[in-house]
Amino acid sequence: MLAVERDGETIAEVGPGAILGKMALLEGRRRTATLRAVTACRVAVVPSDHVDRRRLQHLAEGREQESHGEGTSR
């Protein structure tokens, strides 16, 4: 489990399967939050030049829909 912190305050917690930093990569902005491990965890770092931005955008849109209860049924 990772705590997502902004200005020293925990604003969210994320768990297995979370994709972090996607908006900074897609929009060319700086990260706006800090991650702190709450429990033991493993993370994978993918260099930005190895990321398929089109697929990442598609994945980000799908997760946004899921978080708003708008999951697709196919």
CA gap 62, 50 in Å, rounded:
21
pLDDT in tens, 64-73: 666 666 544 4
Mean pLDDT of 36-52: 93
pLDDT in tens, 11-28: 999 999 888 888 888 888
What per-residue confidence (pLDDT) applies to 38?
96
CA gap 16, 1 in Å, rounded:
7
Q: Is the pTM of this model over 0.85?
A: no
